[in-house]
């Protein structure tokens, strides 16, 4: 008798969930495991934080706008989907970034890696940091390394190594923007573990990042050229390309996708048949019915866990993970209405500047394919940890305040041709100190009572698109491996 078809239900149709479905199919085919895959998506569209709007010749990203070239999983997924020819790198005019410091724009010092100076001669020339701040930062080269075990805050680590001025003027606007978080509450181990590794290996985060940069250059020289040396990548028609590619690949593979459908409860039950005796699951849906599953992959934000999953201490703690709400406002202008003085891809703004916007990207300079000839596209960001009052404002008030600051900072007097406001409520997980331990505890607890239920996604081991892709793939392969072993065990006990 042939092995029965196993059932995998994936809860969440964002990049993690779709990637998990894609690689689960590959892994099942390679392992000879008959597998039926179902994806549940609460909204009417797939993609989660990837949301590309194509309008009047513009390519507008309402969510994520790119991904790091140096992180391989997104590139591998693109190749696996046959979409490598769609890659596009940053435009030649869009590779220079600025900091707004005391009301003036300062270019990011050459050689800065994740806010850490590696070209010290250029760093000493910048007006972004005072002479005393520079001297304190360079003490990192001689300070003893910390040998204490355990996690610490990202802000605490950087202040310990480089001093408070570097944290406030450089690290906070640059690194906190990735998570919209408070550096003094974010986990070092869960956000930038390479900093701690640099200290441990070299006794200096500066020297560690210098070595890391050289190693990255050597690796890049051996790899195929993608994006003409661009630090970031996207696609000719926007990030939606990867979601469309995944959707098509899943449809071709016979994957079932239910939109506007979500899980309200996952429960285990004993399913005894003539050929099988094992624990399986029921995924109860908002429409009143349920799906049978041998394995379930949950990719949702952790605040969705109560009621969905068992009331276990580790899961309860993860469900309390802080999330920050952010928004972005896209503005389109005629090229002649934008003064030509600003020559970078955008700028970041520290908290101490007291601005409404936290950063601004000159999208059509960074990505030349995003605007038609003679037009300019800007994207401004709003919201961060400790500054959530913007959620109380109307759309009109948000757009008005953004336009006021764009006018002041970039001297754009004209009204925009149009605007697009996107509110992203509770969209940015902020990993607290000890987060990785919390993740291990929750997963271990769940494995004891629901060994076929898996937790993954942006709430766990990275918020970037490549991080989510890697987590989706690894989780899918683990789930299929478990199903394969269960199938072998079932056959041996017949």
The percentage of the chain sitting over the pLDDT mark of 70, rounded to a whole number, equals 93
Q: What are 300's two structure tokens?
A: 């949702």
- Please determine, for residue 1, whether its predicted confidence score (pLDDT) is greater than 60: no
What secondary structure does DSSP assign to 305-366, as a single string? -BTTB---HHHHHHHT--EEEEEEEEEEEEGGGS-TT--SSEEEE-GGG--SEEEEE-HHHH
Contacts of 392 (CB under 8 A, 6+ apart): none
What pLDDT, on the 0 to 100 scale, is given for residue 271? 55
Query: What pLDDT, in 10s, does the model give residues 100-146?
Result: 999 999 999 998 989 999 999 999 999 999 999 999 999 999 999 99
Query: What pLDDT, in 10s, does the model give residues 322-373?
Result: 999 999 999 999 999 999 878 888 999 999 999 999 999 999 999 999 999 9
- Please determine, for residue 56, whether its predicted confidence score (pLDDT) is greater than 90: yes
| Domain range annotation of the chain | 6-47+246-321+432-492, 109-218, 322-429
DSSP 186: B
Q: Are 454 and 475 in contact (CB under 8 A)?
A: yes
Q: What CATH number is given for 6-47+246-321+432-492 in this structure?
A: 3.50.50.60
What pLDDT, on the 0 to 100 scale, is given for residue 269? 79
- Please determine, for residue 229, whether its predicted confidence score (pLDDT) is greater than 80: no
* pLDDT confidence band for 418 (50 / 70 / 90): very high
Neighbouring-strand partners of residue 268: 281
Query: What pLDDT, in 10s, does the model give residues 423-446?
Result: 999 999 999 999 999 999 999 999
Q: Are 157 and 175 in contact (CB under 8 A)?
A: no
Query: What pLDDT, in 10s, does the model give residues 321-331?
Result: 999 999 999 99
Q: Are 34 and 487 in contact (CB under 8 A)?
A: no
Rounded mean pLDDT of 395-423?
97
- Please determine, for residue 470, whether its predicted confidence score (pLDDT) is greater than 80: yes
- Low-confidence winner among 31-35, 145-149, 275-279 (lowest mean pLDDT): 275-279
- Please determine, for residue 172, whether its predicted confidence score (pLDDT) is greater than 50: yes
The closest of 336, 419, 420 to 373, measured between CA atoms, is: 336
What pLDDT, on the 0 to 100 scale, is given for residue 340? 85
Mean pLDDT of the chain: 93
What pLDDT, on the 0 to 100 scale, is given for residue 275? 38
Q: What fold characterizes domain 322-429?
A: Polyamine Oxidase; Chain A, domain 2 (3.90.660)
* pLDDT confidence band for 230 (50 / 70 / 90): confident
Question: Cα–chain-centroid distance for residue 231?
Answer: 16
- Low-confidence winner among 12-26, 295-309, 475-489 (lowest mean pLDDT): 475-489
Q: What fold characterizes domain 109-218?
A: protoporphyrinogen ix oxidase, domain 3 (1.10.3110)
Contacts of 228 (CB under 8 A, 6+ apart): 89
């Amino acid at each position: 008798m042939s092995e029965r078809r196993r059932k995998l239900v994936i809860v969440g149709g964002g990049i993690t969930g779709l990637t998990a479905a894609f690689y689960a199919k590959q892994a099942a085919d390679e392992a000879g495991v008959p597998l039926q895959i179902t994806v549940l998506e609460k909204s009417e569209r797939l993609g989660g934080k990837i949301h590309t709007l194509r309008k009047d010749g513009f390519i507008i990203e309402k969510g994520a706008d790119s991904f790091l070239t140096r992180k391989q999983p997104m590139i591998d997924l693109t190749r696996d989907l046959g979409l490598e020819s769609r890659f596009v790198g940053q435009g030649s005019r869009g590779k220079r970034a600025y900091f707004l410091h005391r009301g003036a724009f300062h270019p990011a010092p050459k050689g800065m890696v994740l806010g850490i100076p590696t070209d010290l001669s250029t760093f000493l020339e910048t007006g972004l940091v005072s002479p005393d701040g520079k001297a304190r930062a360079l003490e990192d080269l001689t300070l003893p390394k910390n040998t204490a075990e355990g996690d610490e805050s990202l802000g605490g680590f950087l202040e310990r190594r480089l001093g408070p001025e570097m944290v406030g003027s450089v690290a906070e606007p640059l690194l906190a923007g990735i998570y919209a978080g408070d550096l003094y509450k974010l986990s070092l181990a869960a956000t930038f573990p390479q900093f701690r590794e640099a200290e441990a290996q070299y006794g200096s985060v500066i020297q560690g990042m210098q070595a890391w940069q050289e190693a990255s250059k050597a690796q890049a020289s051996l790899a195929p050229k993608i994006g003409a040396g661009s630090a970031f990548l996207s696609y000719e028609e926007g990030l939606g390309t990867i979601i469309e590619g995944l959707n098509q690949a899943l449809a071709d593979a016979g994957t079932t996708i239910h939109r506007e459908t979500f899980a309200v409860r996952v429960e285990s039950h004993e399913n005894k048949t003539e050929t099988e005796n094992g624990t399986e699951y029921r995924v109860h849906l908002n429409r009143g019915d349920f799906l049978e599953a041998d394995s379930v992959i949950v990719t949702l934000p952790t605040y969705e866990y109560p009621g969905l999953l068992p009331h276990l201490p580790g899961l309860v703690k993860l469900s309390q993970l802080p999330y920050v709400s952010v928004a972005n406002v896209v503005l389109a202008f005629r090229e002649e209405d934008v003064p030509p003085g600003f020559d970078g891809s955008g700028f970041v703004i520290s908290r101490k500047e007291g601005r409404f916007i936290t950063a601004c990207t000159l999208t059509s300079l960074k990505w030349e394919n995003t605007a038609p000839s003679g037009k300019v596209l800007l994207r401004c960001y709003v919201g961060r940890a400790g500054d959530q009052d913007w959620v109380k404002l109307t759309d009109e008030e948000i757009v008005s305040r953004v336009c006021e600051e764009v006018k002041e900072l970039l001297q754009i007097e004209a009204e925009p041709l149009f605007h697009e406001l996107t509110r992203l409520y509770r969209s940015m997980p902020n990993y607290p100190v000890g987060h990785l331990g919390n993740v291990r505890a929750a997963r271990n607890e769940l494995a004891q009572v629901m060994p076929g239920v898996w937790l993954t996604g942006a709430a766990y081991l990275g918020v970037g698109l490549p991080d989510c892709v890697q987590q989706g793939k690894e989780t899918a392969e683990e789930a299929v491996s478990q199903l394969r072993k269960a199938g072998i065990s079932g056959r041996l006990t017949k």
